[in-house]
Structure 1
Amino acid sequence: MKKITYFALIAITALVVYAFTNPKVDFKADTKEGIQFHKGTWEEALQLAKKENKLIFLDIYATWCGHCKKLKTKTFSNEKVGNFYNQNFINVALDGEKGEGADLMKKYNLNSFPSFLFIDNTGKVIAESKGYQNAEELIKFGKKYTK
Protein backbone atom coordinates (compact mmCIF):
# COMPACT_ATOMS: atom_id res chain seq x y z
CA MET A 1 0.00 0.00 0.00
CA LYS A 2 2.88 2.37 0.78
CA LYS A 3 4.30 1.83 -2.72
CA ILE A 4 1.01 2.78 -4.34
CA THR A 5 0.68 5.91 -2.19
CA TYR A 6 4.29 6.87 -2.94
CA PHE A 7 3.83 6.49 -6.71
CA ALA A 8 0.51 8.34 -6.61
CA LEU A 9 2.19 11.23 -4.78
CA ILE A 10 4.99 11.33 -7.36
CA ALA A 11 2.48 11.28 -10.23
CA ILE A 12 0.41 14.11 -8.74
CA THR A 13 3.54 16.18 -8.12
CA ALA A 14 4.70 15.61 -11.69
CA LEU A 15 1.33 16.71 -13.06
CA VAL A 16 1.34 19.88 -10.95
CA VAL A 17 4.88 20.75 -12.06
CA TYR A 18 3.96 20.05 -15.68
CA ALA A 19 0.87 22.27 -15.47
CA PHE A 20 2.89 25.21 -14.16
CA THR A 21 5.89 24.83 -16.49
CA ASN A 22 3.91 24.15 -19.69
CA PRO A 23 1.31 26.88 -19.95
CA LYS A 24 -1.42 26.84 -22.57
CA VAL A 25 -0.31 28.55 -25.76
CA ASP A 26 -2.68 30.01 -28.33
CA PHE A 27 -1.09 28.82 -31.55
CA LYS A 28 -3.60 30.80 -33.64
CA ALA A 29 -2.71 34.18 -32.12
CA ASP A 30 0.25 36.21 -33.41
CA THR A 31 2.10 38.92 -31.51
CA LYS A 32 2.23 42.39 -33.02
CA GLU A 33 6.05 42.29 -33.20
CA GLY A 34 6.57 38.69 -34.34
CA ILE A 35 5.82 36.52 -37.33
CA GLN A 36 2.41 37.11 -38.85
CA PHE A 37 1.08 33.74 -39.97
CA HIS A 38 -1.26 33.41 -42.95
CA LYS A 39 -4.82 32.72 -41.78
CA GLY A 40 -6.22 31.20 -44.98
CA THR A 41 -6.01 27.76 -46.54
CA TRP A 42 -2.90 26.03 -47.82
CA GLU A 43 -4.05 26.56 -51.40
CA GLU A 44 -4.48 30.29 -50.71
CA ALA A 45 -0.96 30.41 -49.26
CA LEU A 46 0.42 28.79 -52.44
CA GLN A 47 -1.44 31.35 -54.57
CA LEU A 48 -0.16 34.23 -52.42
CA ALA A 49 3.41 32.90 -52.67
CA LYS A 50 3.06 32.87 -56.45
CA LYS A 51 1.57 36.37 -56.56
CA GLU A 52 4.26 37.84 -54.27
CA ASN A 53 7.10 35.71 -55.68
CA LYS A 54 8.04 34.41 -52.22
CA LEU A 55 8.75 31.07 -50.63
CA ILE A 56 6.44 29.72 -47.95
CA PHE A 57 7.84 29.20 -44.48
CA LEU A 58 5.78 26.33 -43.06
CA ASP A 59 5.79 25.55 -39.35
CA ILE A 60 4.17 22.22 -38.46
CA TYR A 61 3.49 21.99 -34.72
CA ALA A 62 1.58 19.97 -32.13
CA THR A 63 -0.29 21.67 -29.30
CA TRP A 64 1.25 19.34 -26.69
CA CYS A 65 4.85 19.86 -27.94
CA GLY A 66 7.07 21.75 -25.48
CA HIS A 67 9.51 22.94 -28.16
CA CYS A 68 6.57 24.13 -30.29
CA LYS A 69 5.24 26.18 -27.36
CA LYS A 70 8.67 27.68 -26.75
CA LEU A 71 9.01 28.57 -30.44
CA LYS A 72 5.62 30.30 -30.42
CA THR A 73 6.25 32.28 -27.22
CA LYS A 74 9.98 33.03 -27.59
CA THR A 75 11.20 32.77 -31.19
CA PHE A 76 8.18 33.53 -33.39
CA SER A 77 7.23 36.49 -31.18
CA ASN A 78 10.69 38.06 -31.48
CA GLU A 79 10.64 41.41 -33.33
CA LYS A 80 13.77 40.71 -35.43
CA VAL A 81 12.41 37.32 -36.46
CA GLY A 82 9.05 38.91 -37.29
CA ASN A 83 10.58 41.67 -39.38
CA PHE A 84 12.75 39.25 -41.36
CA TYR A 85 10.16 36.50 -41.94
CA ASN A 86 7.25 38.86 -42.63
CA GLN A 87 9.29 40.68 -45.28
CA ASN A 88 10.70 37.62 -47.01
CA PHE A 89 8.19 34.76 -46.76
CA ILE A 90 4.56 33.76 -46.69
CA ASN A 91 4.39 32.30 -43.19
CA VAL A 92 2.08 29.39 -42.44
CA ALA A 93 1.68 27.52 -39.14
CA LEU A 94 -0.44 24.38 -39.02
CA ASP A 95 -1.30 21.82 -36.37
CA GLY A 96 0.24 18.60 -37.67
CA GLU A 97 -2.43 16.51 -36.01
CA LYS A 98 -5.47 18.15 -37.62
CA GLY A 99 -6.87 19.04 -41.04
CA GLU A 100 -4.47 20.48 -43.59
CA GLY A 101 -1.58 20.17 -41.14
CA ALA A 102 -2.07 16.39 -40.86
CA ASP A 103 -2.42 16.17 -44.65
CA LEU A 104 0.87 18.03 -45.14
CA MET A 105 2.60 15.83 -42.53
CA LYS A 106 1.76 12.84 -44.74
CA LYS A 107 2.50 14.59 -48.04
CA TYR A 108 5.95 15.75 -46.92
CA ASN A 109 6.68 12.59 -44.89
CA LEU A 110 7.21 14.44 -41.61
CA ASN A 111 7.42 12.55 -38.34
CA SER A 112 8.42 15.01 -35.62
CA PHE A 113 7.44 18.33 -34.08
CA PRO A 114 8.25 21.06 -34.72
CA SER A 115 9.13 20.72 -38.38
CA PHE A 116 9.95 23.69 -40.63
CA LEU A 117 9.91 23.70 -44.39
CA PHE A 118 10.61 26.26 -47.06
CA ILE A 119 8.29 25.49 -49.96
CA ASP A 120 7.96 27.10 -53.37
CA ASN A 121 4.64 28.14 -54.90
CA THR A 122 4.24 24.76 -56.61
CA GLY A 123 4.44 22.90 -53.31
CA LYS A 124 8.03 21.68 -53.80
CA VAL A 125 10.15 21.50 -50.62
CA ILE A 126 13.28 23.64 -50.88
CA ALA A 127 14.59 22.99 -47.35
CA GLU A 128 13.59 21.31 -44.10
CA SER A 129 14.61 21.64 -40.46
CA LYS A 130 13.36 20.19 -37.20
CA GLY A 131 13.44 21.06 -33.52
CA TYR A 132 13.69 24.23 -31.51
CA GLN A 133 15.61 27.20 -32.91
CA ASN A 134 16.22 30.48 -31.12
CA ALA A 135 15.78 33.82 -32.89
CA GLU A 136 19.34 33.99 -34.23
CA GLU A 137 19.25 30.43 -35.53
CA LEU A 138 15.89 30.88 -37.25
CA ILE A 139 17.01 34.07 -38.99
CA LYS A 140 20.26 32.41 -40.07
CA PHE A 141 18.26 29.45 -41.43
CA GLY A 142 15.90 31.77 -43.34
CA LYS A 143 18.70 33.89 -44.85
CA LYS A 144 19.86 30.87 -46.84
CA TYR A 145 16.58 30.97 -48.78
CA THR A 146 15.99 34.67 -49.47
CA LYS A 147 16.26 36.06 -52.94
Structure 2
Amino acid sequence: MKKFSVLTLLYFIVTATAFSQEDIKWLTFEEAAIATNSNPKMILVDVYTDWCGWCKKMDKETFTNPEVIAYVNENFYPVKLHAEKTDRKFSFKGKEYTEASMAKTMRVTSFPNFVIMDATMENITQLPGYREPKPFIDGLDGIVKRFSK
Protein backbone atom coordinates (compact mmCIF):
# COMPACT_ATOMS: atom_id res chain seq x y z
CA MET A 1 0.00 0.00 0.00
CA LYS A 2 2.85 2.37 0.87
CA LYS A 3 4.46 1.62 -2.51
CA PHE A 4 1.20 2.43 -4.28
CA SER A 5 0.90 5.78 -2.46
CA VAL A 6 4.45 6.80 -3.34
CA LEU A 7 3.96 5.82 -7.00
CA THR A 8 0.64 7.66 -7.12
CA LEU A 9 2.20 10.78 -5.61
CA LEU A 10 5.11 10.58 -8.06
CA TYR A 11 2.69 10.23 -10.98
CA PHE A 12 0.80 13.37 -9.94
CA ILE A 13 4.00 15.37 -9.50
CA VAL A 14 5.29 14.36 -12.95
CA THR A 15 1.91 15.02 -14.56
CA ALA A 16 1.56 18.43 -12.91
CA THR A 17 5.07 19.41 -13.96
CA ALA A 18 4.44 18.34 -17.56
CA PHE A 19 1.22 20.33 -17.81
CA SER A 20 2.58 23.42 -16.08
CA GLN A 21 5.56 23.66 -18.45
CA GLU A 22 5.85 27.17 -19.71
CA ASP A 23 5.80 27.84 -23.44
CA ILE A 24 7.66 30.33 -25.55
CA LYS A 25 5.68 33.57 -25.46
CA TRP A 26 5.29 34.06 -29.22
CA LEU A 27 4.29 37.53 -30.38
CA THR A 28 3.22 39.07 -33.65
CA PHE A 29 5.72 41.30 -35.40
CA GLU A 30 3.91 44.45 -34.32
CA GLU A 31 3.59 43.28 -30.69
CA ALA A 32 7.37 42.78 -30.58
CA ALA A 33 7.92 46.27 -32.03
CA ILE A 34 5.75 47.80 -29.29
CA ALA A 35 7.38 45.69 -26.56
CA THR A 36 10.93 46.58 -27.53
CA ASN A 37 10.05 50.28 -27.55
CA SER A 38 9.08 50.16 -23.89
CA ASN A 39 11.62 47.53 -22.78
CA PRO A 40 14.49 47.09 -25.30
CA LYS A 41 15.37 43.49 -26.06
CA MET A 42 16.53 41.55 -29.12
CA ILE A 43 13.91 39.96 -31.38
CA LEU A 44 14.00 36.35 -32.57
CA VAL A 45 11.86 35.89 -35.68
CA ASP A 46 10.96 32.29 -36.53
CA VAL A 47 10.19 32.41 -40.27
CA TYR A 48 8.28 29.28 -41.22
CA THR A 49 5.78 27.76 -43.68
CA ASP A 50 2.96 25.26 -43.21
CA TRP A 51 4.53 22.70 -45.55
CA CYS A 52 8.00 22.77 -43.94
CA GLY A 53 8.69 19.49 -42.14
CA TRP A 54 11.79 20.88 -40.41
CA CYS A 55 9.72 23.82 -39.12
CA LYS A 56 7.28 21.36 -37.56
CA LYS A 57 10.18 19.43 -36.05
CA MET A 58 11.52 22.68 -34.50
CA ASP A 59 8.08 23.37 -33.00
CA LYS A 60 7.72 19.84 -31.67
CA GLU A 61 11.25 19.13 -30.41
CA THR A 62 13.29 22.31 -29.98
CA PHE A 63 10.68 24.90 -29.00
CA THR A 64 9.23 22.57 -26.33
CA ASN A 65 12.60 22.06 -24.63
CA PRO A 66 12.56 23.72 -21.17
CA GLU A 67 16.05 25.20 -21.58
CA VAL A 68 15.16 26.66 -24.99
CA ILE A 69 11.88 28.05 -23.63
CA ALA A 70 13.65 29.72 -20.70
CA TYR A 71 16.51 31.09 -22.83
CA VAL A 72 14.28 32.50 -25.58
CA ASN A 73 11.76 34.06 -23.17
CA GLU A 74 14.52 35.67 -21.11
CA ASN A 75 16.65 37.06 -23.95
CA PHE A 76 14.26 37.80 -26.83
CA TYR A 77 10.88 38.93 -27.94
CA PRO A 78 10.05 35.83 -30.00
CA VAL A 79 7.99 36.27 -33.17
CA LYS A 80 6.35 33.70 -35.44
CA LEU A 81 6.28 34.91 -39.05
CA HIS A 82 4.49 32.80 -41.67
CA ALA A 83 6.47 33.31 -44.89
CA GLU A 84 3.48 32.71 -47.18
CA LYS A 85 0.71 34.50 -45.29
CA THR A 86 -0.69 37.47 -47.20
CA ASP A 87 -4.04 38.13 -45.51
CA ARG A 88 -2.85 40.07 -42.45
CA LYS A 89 -1.23 43.48 -42.90
CA PHE A 90 0.81 45.52 -40.46
CA SER A 91 2.88 48.71 -40.50
CA PHE A 92 6.59 48.74 -39.77
CA LYS A 93 8.89 51.75 -40.10
CA GLY A 94 6.34 53.64 -42.17
CA LYS A 95 5.61 50.85 -44.66
CA GLU A 96 2.84 48.29 -44.88
CA TYR A 97 3.73 44.60 -44.94
CA THR A 98 2.16 41.17 -44.93
CA GLU A 99 4.02 38.36 -43.22
CA ALA A 100 5.03 37.11 -46.68
CA SER A 101 6.34 40.48 -47.82
CA MET A 102 8.25 40.93 -44.54
CA ALA A 103 9.90 37.53 -45.01
CA LYS A 104 10.97 38.63 -48.51
CA THR A 105 12.22 41.96 -47.18
CA MET A 106 14.30 40.03 -44.64
CA ARG A 107 15.69 37.98 -47.57
CA VAL A 108 14.58 34.66 -46.15
CA THR A 109 14.77 31.97 -48.82
CA SER A 110 14.83 28.72 -46.79
CA PHE A 111 12.86 27.35 -43.88
CA PRO A 112 13.00 27.26 -41.00
CA ASN A 113 15.01 30.43 -40.70
CA PHE A 114 15.61 32.50 -37.61
CA VAL A 115 16.17 36.21 -38.12
CA ILE A 116 17.79 37.96 -35.19
CA MET A 117 17.06 41.66 -34.79
CA ASP A 118 18.52 44.12 -32.31
CA ALA A 119 16.37 46.21 -29.97
CA THR A 120 16.02 48.90 -32.67
CA MET A 121 14.57 46.21 -34.95
CA GLU A 122 17.47 46.15 -37.36
CA ASN A 123 18.44 42.75 -38.73
CA ILE A 124 21.66 41.41 -37.22
CA THR A 125 21.91 37.95 -38.75
CA GLN A 126 20.07 34.78 -39.71
CA LEU A 127 20.33 31.23 -38.40
CA PRO A 128 18.92 29.05 -41.19
CA GLY A 129 17.84 25.44 -40.79
CA TYR A 130 16.67 23.02 -38.15
CA ARG A 131 18.60 23.01 -34.88
CA GLU A 132 18.43 20.71 -31.90
CA PRO A 133 18.00 22.42 -28.51
CA LYS A 134 21.65 22.66 -27.37
CA PRO A 135 23.08 23.91 -30.70
CA PHE A 136 20.13 26.34 -31.00
CA ILE A 137 20.83 27.85 -27.57
CA ASP A 138 24.58 27.95 -28.29
CA GLY A 139 23.98 29.79 -31.59
CA LEU A 140 21.64 32.30 -29.98
CA ASP A 141 23.94 32.79 -27.00
CA GLY A 142 26.87 33.62 -29.28
CA ILE A 143 24.77 36.29 -31.01
CA VAL A 144 23.48 37.71 -27.71
CA LYS A 145 27.00 37.98 -26.30
CA ARG A 146 28.35 39.53 -29.49
CA PHE A 147 25.63 42.13 -29.95
CA SER A 148 24.57 42.98 -26.40
CA LYS A 149 25.85 46.12 -24.72
Instruction: Output the aligned Cα RMSD.
Output: 1.7
Count the aligned residue pairs.
115
1:124, CA displacement in angstroms?
A: 1.2
Matched residue, 2:104: 106
CA distance in 2, matches of 1:101, 1:57: 15
1:66 aligns with 2:45: no
1:34, CA displacement in angstroms?
A: 3.6
Equivalent pair of 2:36/2:120 in contact (CA under 8 Å):
no
Matched residue, 2:15: none
Point out where structure 2 has 5 or more consecutive residues left out of the alignment.
1-19, 87-97
Point out where structure 1 has 5 or more consecutive residues left out of the alignment.
1-30
- CA distances 1:19-38 after superposition (whole Å, capped 9, x unpaired): xxxxxxxxxxxx94342211
CA distance in 2, matches of 1:87, 1:54: 9
Equivalent pair of 1:55/1:118 in contact (CA under 8 Å):
yes
Residues 11-50 of structure 1 aligned to structure 2 (within 5 Å) = 32-38=21-27, 40=28, 42-50=29-37
Residues 50-61 of structure 1 aligned to structure 2 (within 5 Å) = 50-61=37-48
- CA distances 1:82-139 after superposition (whole Å, capped 9, x unpaired): 0011011000011110033202111111111111011124331111111100000110
AA at the equivalent of 2:107: N
- CA distances 1:16-61 after superposition (whole Å, capped 9, x unpaired): xxxxxxxxxxxxxxx94342211x4x23311212322101000000
AA at the equivalent of 2:25: Q
TM-score, with normalisation over the residues of structure 2?
0.71
CA distance in 2, matches of 1:143, 1:34: 19
Matched residue, 1:91: 78
CA distance in 1, matches of 2:55, 2:124: 22
Paired-residue identity, %: 33
Equivalent pair of 1:33/1:78 in contact (CA under 8 Å):
no
Picking from 103, 116, 120, the partner of 1:118 is 116
Determine which structure has the larger strand proportion and give its number: 2
Matched residue, 1:27: none
TM-score, with normalisation over the residues of structure 1?
0.72
CA distance in 1, matches of 2:120, 2:101: 16
